[in-house]
Amino acid sequence: MNTFFIKKSTGLAGRYRVPGDKSISHRSIMLGSIAEGVTEVSGLLEAEDVLATLATFESMGVNIERLGDGCLRIHGVGLHGLKAPSNDLYVGNSGTSMRLLVGLLAGQAFDATLTGDVSLSKRPMRRVLDPLVLMGAKVQSNENGFSPLKISGGRSLTAIDYVMPMGSAQVKSCLLLAGLYAAGTTRVTEPAVTRDHTERMLEGFGYVVEKTGNTISVTGGGTLTATKVDVPTDISSAAFMLVAALITSNSDITLEHVGINPTRTGIIDILKAMGADLTLENNRIIGGEEVADIRVKSSPLKGIHIPEKFVGLAIDEFPVIFVAAACAEGETVLTGAAELRVKESDRIQSMAEGLQAVGVDAQASDDGMIIQGGSIKGGIVESYDDHRIAMSFAVAGLRSEQGIQVNNCENVKTSFPSFMALAKKCGFNLTVR
Ligand code: S3P
């Protein structure tokens, strides 16, 4: 079990690159596998979650050459070329793998079972199973709506018009992937904008995707054509370094080549509204995704009421935004973010308990949090087996009076295996035992 010990730091400096974007990495493997031809991927995040997706496609007969340093050569088998796996498909901690794969598997000729770790086996799956059943899929969870998920092959899927009850890129993507196999045009309407990497990447693979307002449609029966995917670095990983530099005096760091797709940049808007000295430099488009270098300097922050329009655009960054709020002057209020309760842990509960344990006045509500900014005393917190909780409290330690111990940080491997090394290079006062 990894335990993090973090103490105050004297300042962070330098230029760094965080690893590849997790969402785009998953999708590059999925679409590359079902495309016609050879897809070359560079900048892939080689972390447990993404490697779980990779392993499932290998189990379904796809030849994926791992060339090292984030490069893959995927020998696509076409939409109907996947083979029945001989074992259950285990995706570890990865909600994205499970929810997107169940959509893809619903359209196959063979049966399959998806399983995950203890945390993933407690996350809601009815949100994807219910609409898939409406499309004619035969997909089953346990009686609580949790995995293992059993998918029966050989079903004819029919397109549906589906209005999603929650903002979720995973649900949207699941249905778009099932839609590739359905007769007719599948239309998915989202209540709020969520990350659009699936739509963009389908287009990159030559598949027609239509967007009208918040409705996204695909028509089944087309083909995907292999392409090159250059994965930008992950703004969700960069977020830890951004907040770390903001709350540590004498800091000035630049994070290079960060994906700034507008469906992911809520963190930038929120931190700027809190007073962050943060600038985007060298903006460019790489493979259909916008990328920039982000420079950030230590800044006095102030508490804000976070506009709900940013919730979907910063959904994975709230744990570390709460840390920024704990260091800000005044009150920060978040509402409209009940989805945080069904992530790798209940992130409202985990963060409220952790912040209280280190001396911060943080009050959880059903759909958000109220934090009185000020100082962080320090103490011992749990990661609740959630990578983003572990890394958020590592950041909080930089401003703590007495240091912070974070228990059970093994899970950082799921999204950011180089976090410890990179954090130390940046100037974190971090030891791991
Ligand atoms: C993801 C979508 C988000 C996010 C997750 C990755 C994706 O989940 O929290 O880390 O790659 O589609 P929801 O779509 O369930 O909000």
pLDDT tens column, 221-270: 999 999 999 999 999 999 999 999 999 999 999 999 999 999 999 999 99
Instruction: Kindly state whether residues 400 and 267 are assigned to the same domain.
Output: yes
What secondary structure does DSSP assign to 213-278, as a single string?
Answer: TTEEEEETT---B--EEEPPB-HHHHHHHHHHHHHSTT-EEEEEEEE--TTSTHHHHHHHHTT-EE
What is the CA(13)–ligand 1 centre distance, in A?
31
Q: Which of 28, 96, 289 to mutate to test the pocket of ligand 1 (most atoms within 8 A of CB)?
A: 96
Instruction: Kindly state whether residues 238 and 357 are assigned to the same domain.
Output: yes
Write the CATH number for 38. Answer: 3.65.10.10
Q: Is residue 205 pLDDT above 70, yes or no?
A: yes
Amino acid at 198: T
Please state, in angstroms and rounded to a whole number, the distance separating the CA atoms of residues 415 and 97. 13
**Residue 342 CA, closest ligand 1 atom number:** 15
Q: Examine the fold and report which residue of 195, 230, 265 is the final residue of a domain before the chain moves on.
A: 230
Residue bearing the CA closest to ligand 1, atom 16 = 168
Q: Is residue 116 pLDDT above 80, yes or no?
A: yes
What is the CA(169)–ligand 1 centre distance, in A?
5
Q: Which of 30, 94, 166, 170 to mutate to test the pocket of ligand 1 (most atoms within 8 A of CB)?
A: 170
The domain of 80 spans: 22-230
Q: Is residue 311 pLDDT above 70, yes or no?
A: yes
* 60-80: pLDDT as tens digits: 999 999 999 999 999 999 999
Q: What is the pLDDT of residue 287?
A: 83
CB 172 within 8 A of CB 190: yes
Instruction: Kindly state whether residues 303 and 242 are assigned to the same domain.
Output: yes
Residue bearing the CA closest to ligand 1, atom 10 = 316
**Residue 312 CA, closest ligand 1 atom number:** 16
What is the CA(168)–ligand 1 centre distance, in A?
6
Beta strand 36-42 with 228-230 is: parallel
Mean pLDDT value across the chain: 98
Residue bearing the CA closest to ligand 1, atom 11 = 23
Please state, in angstroms and rounded to a whole number, the distance separating the CA atoms of residues 95 and 112. 17
Instruction: Kindly state whether residues 283 and 403 are assigned to the same domain.
Output: yes
What is the CA(173)–ligand 1 centre distance, in A?
10
Residue bearing the CA closest to ligand 1, atom 5 = 96
What is the number of structural domains in the chain? 2
Instruction: Kindly state whether residues 181 and 37 are assigned to the same domain.
Output: yes
If we measure between CA atoms, which residue out of 168, 273, 164, 198 comes closest to residue 21? 198
What is the CA(194)–ligand 1 centre distance, in A?
8
Place of tokens 């976070």: 306
Mean pLDDT on 124-142: 98
What is the CA(402)–ligand 1 centre distance, in A?
34
Instruction: Kindly state whether residues 205 and 270 are assigned to the same domain.
Output: no
* Active-site amino acid positions: 316
Share of the chain above pLDDT 70, in %: 100
Q: Examine the fold and report which residue of 177, 202, 230 is the final residue of a domain before the chain moves on.
A: 230
If we measure between CA atoms, which residue out of 78, 74, 63 comes closest to residue 109? 78
Q: Count of CB atoms within 10 A of residue 205's CB?
A: 23
Residue bearing the CA closest to ligand 1, atom 15 = 168
Mean pLDDT on 73-93: 98
Mean pLDDT on 396-416: 98
Instruction: Kindly state whether residues 129 and 222 are assigned to the same domain.
Output: yes
Instruction: Kindly state whether residues 274 and 184 are assigned to the same domain.
Output: no
Instruction: Kindly state whether residues 122 and 256 are assigned to the same domain.
Output: no
**Residue 173 CA, closest ligand 1 atom number:** 12
Cα dist from 266 to 10, 140, 241, 273, 314, whole Å: 28, 35, 16, 11, 5
If we measure between CA atoms, which residue out of 107, 66, 114 comes closest to residue 91? 114
Q: Which of 21, 23, 25 to mutate to test the pocket of ligand 1 (most atoms within 8 A of CB)?
A: 23
> Which residues line the pocket of ligand 1, CB cutoff 6 A?
23, 96, 168-170, 173, 194-195, 315-316, 339
What is the CA(312)–ligand 1 centre distance, in A?
9
Q: Which of 31, 128, 195, 348 to mutate to test the pocket of ligand 1 (most atoms within 8 A of CB)?
A: 195
Instruction: Kindly state whether residues 124 and 57 are assigned to the same domain.
Output: yes
Q: What is the pLDDT of residue 288?
A: 87
* 143-173: pLDDT as tens digits: 999 999 999 999 999 999 999 999 999 999 9
Q: How open is the CA angle 383-119-322, to the nearest 5 degrees?
A: 40
Q: What is the pTM of this model?
A: 0.98
Q: Examine the fold and report which residue of 168, 196, 230 is the final residue of a domain before the chain moves on.
A: 230
Instruction: Kindly state whether residues 16 and 26 are assigned to the same domain.
Output: no
Mean pLDDT on 127-151: 98
Q: What is the pLDDT of residue 1?
A: 67
Instruction: Kindly state whether residues 118 and 242 are assigned to the same domain.
Output: no
